[in-house]
Structure 1
């Protein structure tokens, strides 16, 4: 199962044995379908309030502490009551309870027309003392204490919210005094001060952890979502207003997380819209709602990504229509994801952080979507990453299983599933070492199965994003999280329609945390979001220009600055330990890669400076160096895992034997790394091309090797060519290989390595090249020589004598194309020509 559920609380496991031990459960029906024992509320500090009927049908209220695993009896009514809601203050000195006194039929039969059907009480329970009536009305009410910050010292009072079915919310301010023996009593003997918080609401949700009240009021044909933030200083402010194109049934008030009553929730759920609001720590704000559908075998639900300025409406075709009566989707808040779950049908994990591309949301059906512990839809999310099954009274901590994600990745047949699982593994689990290794192994086996994306590119970019973004606020908006610019694929059985919505209006002052992050997200949507993420299009163009002009601009201040950047990156790299040395990458000079490193540093720095000026230049310099160094280390990490998996060692740089099947697999994989890096214009670690070429020499036939070199797949490096010329003996086969390599060397590199092959073939090649350069100088008019009518040397070898005469006169005019090789001159050309001619004639040269 993809979702991992850990039971944190279970009425039958954690409460029933405690009740039985005290003799309070003799008349209690302990079956799962019993309505005599049920959860009433979950408070901010993780304490679960429940109620049960005692031996004499008395109504008891108890509390279970998730941290201490202890039960506590709070209060008992000597009547058989149906508790609607209940809340205890943070100090557990006051208890607020609302209950149903009599049904309409009971009132008629008992002639109690003047008695209210519903009652809300405030009870002093430390010790049990006075009882005050908060409300005595014919409409249902709910109660909820506000909770201050954890570090608050001995408070002098508490604040209580009272929600009425008549569509208003009040706040009561309750001041207490502490008497002898730590007795806590309410200070004011008169009516408790109260203030109206909200009016005319048709839906409300309480966020216990963050002390926020979300509610909806109707306005013409639309609905307005509002939010009130309650602060520890006993003030509250309206902080958000957003227009929603949702038609909410206003005949009955729908409440979310204001207490839990299975029977009543079932009745309300059948008459009102299933709608919930979820927030994330990164400033995400989502409204999830179930929509009505006229098609029996279809489910429709909509997610408003308010922090991104659009909504997505999903229509899912059900696989098995025999369960078409299950129409209500259960929503769960997993912080990074929102889960939409319909038991027996599907599980849809919607990415809150990156909802733009549908391929980053996991959609599962069949066995993959099965959650054994949740077989009905009446579940709530009282706390983040927590679900409460109101039917059976169990509360679970919910998380995504890393092993299940890996299994799903390995078994997936569609690119959309692979992308979603890969994204989840890399970003949700925050680069866990073992999971990262398993992902690399999966990539090495599935390079050819992914058609709409490059898994190596995705791994590198997503892993870099995950490593860097926690460092600095708003950095996640500037660095790319994916290698894809768009995704045109489909998810079978699911259609999605995206609509632009109005940006929410925020009003807050000096508020850190969620509101500040949400405001930052909204500012990006308003102004510059398409231009924020760093792109490599300018980098590639500049790199190619500098590569072509390197001789002319190599000494300029600009280039010196670029190479200074590269040196800082290389100095910033982590020291490779002995295990990592399994991959024989060399710290060598690589002009092209160092140029690319330095350019990436310069351009990324400019990009961040435009948007993160407040961070400071020194911090940005550090971020950029970390980013490029992490990039190189990531490529090395990939190589290390592939190397380890194929059990290779450093003998691949011995050219006297052919490569194994494992070496060929690694060579192929390195080619895909090179392709991925080229596609994104990313630098590679020093020595990558040397290692790749060394594997190519060992694994490829000569014609294929040369084809790879000619097409730029393999790059000739000084380290590898020098070792090749020195280590291989001069058999006919090796001569052919060496000569083919020497023929393809760039001029600057050839001048460095020719001396390492002392062979007539190499000397012949050098001589030819020397002659060609001299004659080109002659042809370009840089030197002039009258052709003599008669030769001044003996005619022993007329063509050679004539050539050497011409070359000698050019040399005498100061033309020396091979200034770095003093041994190459006309004399060298003459000796080489004679030696080569004699060798071709099969004669002995002396």
Structure 2
């Protein structure tokens, strides 16, 4: 399954063996005339609550109906007995303070069936506060006809004793109170309640219909119905004994007939499970990035589809999904379940569908993974109701198992290989990269898949999406708010339908923050809300902004004119820092012959990207040190280049290529053609995003092109900009190839396409009439570019060159005249030892060669 549940606690394994051992001891003692409290009914063993520090409270009954309270410490893996009620009660709720000195319990009288009789008003609920260190007094906090839920606050993680404990009591009468309990030590370590006669209390909330407790963050979410509007509110409990109303948010849902419901206030085994499965589902999820999501599914009525909504308050919109349930005989026996997985929310209906919703980037549906009931792996999840807790923890109340919910990397990778749908490939790619565990291994697996499926996707470019997404995830977890400044995906729009699901997106009103000083999560949430209000259009970096400047620098290089050398040197220094950073992070020597030449064009592009991206982050990333931003930029661009290298290296290794591929005096193989094709796809992907390539990429691409392509195809690739002629590649071509007829034609065709300055330099390395011809052409072009014909009185032989070919003589005379009149016109770089005589001799040699004389 895409979701993996790793058991962190199992009531049957972590608690029951100890109780059975205790039973054996007590049985022996009973045979000797004593012993009580023997566990007889294993079904009575239940998890009741999980506290902020991870400790788990459980209860069980012995053969006499006595109720035992125990605690499992997840840190020490030890069990501890807390208290025993020698009366047959049904536990509604319980909680223990962080020092394990006070136990709050809500109990109702048990019926013969072991359940509260809701139709008997005399069945009172007792809420008791018990001193348990040592066992001492019991104080009655409430004795009412309605149910009460109890929950101690844990304002501090530290273990030092607190002078005051705070206890929340949540009443079925729709109010919440906070009790202040002063404790003191007597007789050494005896802890007693100091103000047991009168416990001060605060009214926290009232007239609410739904409430959810976030134990880890100590937050209370509740909904009240105000003027026929559904208003979600949040109260933050602080360490300074205060509580603060943080925000109000309007929800476009109706809860008038939904009844009273609590989420995460322990387990209420008094609920009718069948009724619970048909009840509406509503929960609030947050994560460390400052997201705020409300997941909602109305009461389910039998039909062929089910609807659920997610309110992305941190994005300013909601999405309502309608999922088909399959065939007409589909039967829904359980309710829909929402699970918090940090960057994702899992929505599933056992046997029907499983939906992983991307919380950080919910705009495009293709970034969320939807699997239908046809997928056999869906049934691997428990069919019993699961409760999502903080920190990606999930509790199965029925079995008493606590799970840590994780994305299943191995299954997702398998799905990546097997699914035929582009939407699922896109979603799985991002799910895998967001896992964040063993990123090198995951990237290697994805690269292997890309190399085998390079042309499989029609809706997006695989290489582009992998490079952009993986570079993003390598930086995003380190600094908050970077997700708004760096591109997450190469896909801007998605119009293809997702089979089995439809979607409606609507704008929603942003939460109204009730405070003005923010820290931690609240600061990030407020930043997200401010971004939604004012940051339009989006601030994602786009590398195309440097296209014009890069083109200008290349043009200046071709013409031999350059602006300030300090400016260019700074750009090249930026590129050098990236390359040093990249090489320092490389774990193994590279197989491919990259980074072995200067390749100033790519270095200029890398350096410009460093400069532009750094300025972009400095403008919009407030409160982050400049040095940290500079390092972030180096890491991001280094990662981008490294991913390109890794894709190429994987193909190089797969086809078992060797460094001698760089020599031209050999024919191309099928393996080389495969690598050449991959490099062409990489070039296509990076060109459209205007991303830099590793220095040496174009040289290697050109060499493989010469090996694998017929001459006319090769020249077509060159003329259309697919293959770029680098000085290193052409120099090696001239030196490696002999002067056979085929090679002469190849050399001439290549050199003729070089920029003038580089062409003159390369031509001088080739001792051949073709080379002389090229040099001559360039020389003549330079001389005649500003030539104006002057009237002549007579033809005079101004040169020592004379043949019986009057047009050539006339042309040489013109060149000689220009040379003698202005030496500066031909005294440019690469033209030493070139004059009119050289041009005439080269022309004759070339003519005789063409005529075969």
Interval containing the TM-score (normalised by the shorter chain): over 0.9
Q: Give the deviation of 1:470 after TM superposition.
A: 3.2
TM-score, normalised by the number of residues in structure 1: 0.93
Q: Distance in 2 between matches of 1:280 and 1:254?
A: 23
In the alignment, what sits opposite 2:644?
635
Residue 13 (structure 1) aligns with: 13
How many aligned residue pairs are there?
Answer: 833
Distance 1:578-1:489 versus aligned 2 partners, 3 A rule: closer
Q: 1:754 to 1:119 in 2, by over 3 A?
A: same
Moved more, 619-628 or 139-148: 619-628
After the TM superposition, which residues 320-399 of structure 1 pair with which residues of structure 2 at under 5 Å, given as runs? 320-326=327-333, 328-366=335-373, 368=375, 370-371=377-378, 374-399=381-406
Moved more, 456-465 or 222-231: 456-465
Q: Provide the rounded CA distance (Å) in 2 between the counterparts of 1:631 and 1:271.
A: 49
Report 1:394-793 matches (<5 A): 394-429=401-436, 432-508=439-515, 510-548=517-555, 550=557, 554-557=561-564, 560-573=566-579, 574-575=582-583, 579-778=588-787, 781=788, 784=790, 786=792, 788-789=794-795
Note the alpha carbon deviations across 1:142-162, whole angstroms, 9 max, x for none: 001111322252211311100
Match of 2:89 in 1: 81
TM-score, normalisation: structure 2? 0.92
Q: Is the 8 A contact 1:119 1:136 kept in 2?
A: yes
| Distance of 1:431 and 1:748 partners within structure 2 | 49
> 1: distance between equivalents of 2:120 and 2:413?
63
Aligned residue among 812, 816, 820 for 1:812:
820
State the secondary structure of the residue aligned to 2:681.
helix
Cα gap change, 1:791 to 1:268, in 2 (>3 Å): same
What is the DSSP-based 3-state SS (H/G/I as helix, E as strand, rest coil) of the residue aligned with 1:634? Answer: helix
- Residues 1:52 and 2:60 aligned together: yes
Deviation of the 1:26 alpha carbon = 5.5
Greater mean deviation of Cα atoms: 544-553 or 580-589: 544-553
Deviations 1:330-384 (A, max 9, x none): 1111111110011111111101111111111111123646355633241101332
Please, which of 18, 40, 43 is the counterpart of residue 28 of structure 1? Answer: 40
User: Matched residue of 2:468: which SS?
Assistant: helix
Q: Aligned with 1:150: secondary structure?
A: coil
Give the Cα separation in 1 of the matches to 2:351 and 2:114: 41
Bigger shift: 248-257 or 73-82?
248-257
What is the DSSP-based 3-state SS (H/G/I as helix, E as strand, rest coil) of the residue aligned with 2:590?
helix
Q: Is the 8 A contact 2:310 2:318 kept in 1?
A: yes
- What residue number does 1:229 align with? 236
**Which moves more between the two structures, 449-458 or 784-793?**
784-793
Give the equivalent residue in structure 2 for 1:66: 74
**CA spacing shift, 1:168–1:842, aligned 2, 3 Å:** closer
Q: Deviations over 1:192-239 (max 9, x none)?
A: 111111010100011011111110001123211011111112111111
Task: Mark the CA change 1:556 to 1:207 in structure 2 (over 3 Å): closer, same or farther.
Answer: same
Q: CA deviation at 1:43?
A: 1.0
Residue by residue over 1:48-88, the C-alpha shift from the partner in whole angstroms, topping out at 9 and shown as x without a partner, is: 11111102121111112222222222111111111111111
Task: Let me know the Cα RMSD of the aligned residues.
Answer: 2.7
Matches within 5 A, 1:168-179: 168-179=175-186
Moved more, 99-108 or 473-482: 99-108
Shift of 1:169: 0.4
Q: Displacement of 1:622 after TM fit?
A: 3.7
Pairing 1:168-207 to 2, within 5 Å after superposition:
168-207=175-214
**TM-aligned CA distance change 1:390 to 1:488, over 3 Å:** same
Distance 1:776-1:189 versus aligned 2 partners, 3 A rule: closer
Residues 1:95 and 2:107 aligned together: no
Contact 2:121–2:145 (8 Å) recurs in 1: no
- The alpha-carbon deviation at position 108 of structure 1 amounts to 14
Shift of 1:579: 3.9
Range with bigger deviation, 769-778 or 72-81: 769-778
Question: How is 1:276-295 mapped onto 2 (pairs within 5 angstroms)?
Answer: 276-292=283-299
Distance 1:96 1:545, change over 3 A: same
Describe the SS at the equivalent of 1:588.
coil
Q: Is the 8 A contact 1:313 1:496 kept in 2?
A: yes
Name the residue aligned to 1:830: 840
Instruction: Quote the Cα distance in structure 2 between the aligned partners of 1:19 and 1:700.
Output: 77
> Secondary structure in 2 aligned to 1:580?
coil
Find the partner of 2:47 among 39, 53, 58.
39
Cα separation, 2, equivalents of 1:688 and 1:105 = 77
Q: Secondary structure of the equivalent of 2:666? A: coil
Per-residue deviation at 1:790?
Answer: 6.6
Structure 1: tracts of 5 or more residues without a match: none
CA–CA distance in 1 between the matches of 2:826 and 2:791?
A: 16
